[in-house]
A and B are shown apart, each in its own frame.
Chain A
Amino acid sequence: MSRLHLLLLPLLAAVSVGAAMAETPVIRIEIRDHLFYPDHVKIPADTKVKLLVHNTDPTPEEFESYELNREKIIVGGSRAVIFVGPLPPGEYPFFGEFYPETAQGKVIAE
């Protein structure tokens, strides 16, 4: 048990540091008819941003990106928050795992 406590301490410290961070830019993305709007999402490089994804379809979708290491289910008609970055300049593709044929997009950090 004491070993577990020792493991949790740095985790808690890190959480409080994260909470103390300043305002983060918010980027809005909409899912409609299994497409992302916009599908090219420009964000500032080396800055943490908050993606606010609104799934307006009645069906669930999963926001997924190997390059961003992100994965999140967004049920139909709901909103989700996904934090990304800070990222070095570059392109980071993302897709909807439930409808990958159409739901494709990329984050462009510049």
Chain B
Amino acid sequence: MLLSSVILVLREILEAALIVSILLVFSRQLALSGRWIGTALVVGLLGATIYAARIGEVSDWFGYVGQEVVNATMQLILCGLVAAFILLLYRQRRRALSWLMALVLVLSLTREGSEILIYYSGFLHQPELLAPVLLGGGLGTGIGLSAGALLYYGLMALRPLYRQRLSLVLLALFGGNMVSQATLLLIQADWLPAGGAVWDSSTYLPDQSVVGQLLYALVGYEATPSGLQTAGYLGATAVLLFLQWPFWRPSSEPRLSQALKP
């Protein structure tokens, strides 16, 4: 029970922690105040609580596939928010950028946090199991947050130009990942046609391995993705990278770090 709660909580925390780390790097580079994080944490946890409390009702929508549709919608909105973020990044609309980052965190927390809350709600009936699963959850949270911190400090340690480029690529891959997951959910709901796997790398790098899980959270790795899912992933990533073109001109200085210069 302990181990499974570590894994479950870690999987949810990891994805949210990694995107927050990437956003924090942008926040620092733009010298924005970190106030958006605190507000987003509170609103996000509230969102997670409401969504968790209503999940039974939501699940019954659209012929018992409401969960898929709502989650996919949140993920598509997340991709849209990332696109808007990239567009405003070039114009350095600082206020709007803070809002967008807060919204990304709120939606991520609502989605990932609700699952953790639903998991724990089951143990309220079984008080004898509550201590080990809470301990496991604490460990999972700790590992997830450590991975996020590692990514943040790793990115901050890079030279400004590389830091900016890697952060932009990771942001585009996050958007691609959201579209990929949304596609998968809509296939699960039978709203999109299912297709066979385009490739099968499960013998070399299974989804459930540690590296597989990490890559899933960071860049949306899947061992057996369908054609539509792959197309959604690549399409969204390509669009987001295209929106970043002002940052990729050969002569361009690291624009964001200039904001930090005295």
Contact = CB atoms under 8 A, between A and B. Distances in A.
A110 interface: no
B64 A83 contact: no
A72 B214 CA distance: 20
B182 to A, nearest CB: 10
A59 B122 contact: yes
Contacts of A50: 190
B67 to A, nearest CB: 6
A71 to B, nearest CB: 8
Nearest to A82: B188
Contact of B64 (A7, A21, A80, A98): A80
Given A69-B224, A73-B115, A83 B188 contact: yes
A7 B176 CA distance: 13
Contacts of B191: 15, 18-19
A58 interface: yes
A79 to B, nearest CB: 6
Interface string B44-79: 000000000001100110011101100000000000
B125 interface: yes
A98 B125 contact: no
Interface string B206-237: 11100000000000001111101000000110
Nearest to B133: A98
B8 A18 contact: no
B260 interface: no
B55 A18 contact: no
Nearest to A50: B190
A44 interface: no
Interface string A74-101: 1110111111011010000000011111
A48 B59 contact: no
A49 to B, nearest CB: 11
A98 B55 contact: no
A4 interface: yes
B67 A72 contact: yes
**Taking each of B4, B60, B206, which has the highest tally of chain A beta carbons within 10 Å of its own beta carbon?**
B4
18 contacts: A7-B239, A24-B190, A59-B126, A62-B115, A66-B202, A66-B208, A69-B224, A70-B188, A72-B67, A73-B59, A73-B115, A75-B118, A76-B122, A83-B189, A83-B194, A86-B194, A98-B4, A99-B4
Interface of B: 1, 4, 8, 55-56, 59-60, 63-65, 67-68, 80, 83, 115, 118-119, 121-123, 125-126, 184, 186-194, 196, 202, 206-208, 222-226, 228, 235-236, 239
Closest 3 CB pairs of A and B: A59-B122, A81-B64, A66-B207
Given A4-B83, A67-B202, 19 more contacts: A7-B235, A11-B192, A18-B192, A24-B190, A59-B122, A59-B123, A66-B206, A66-B223, A67-B224, A69-B188, A69-B224, A70-B188, A72-B67, A72-B68, A73-B118, A81-B64, A85-B194, A86-B196, A97-B8
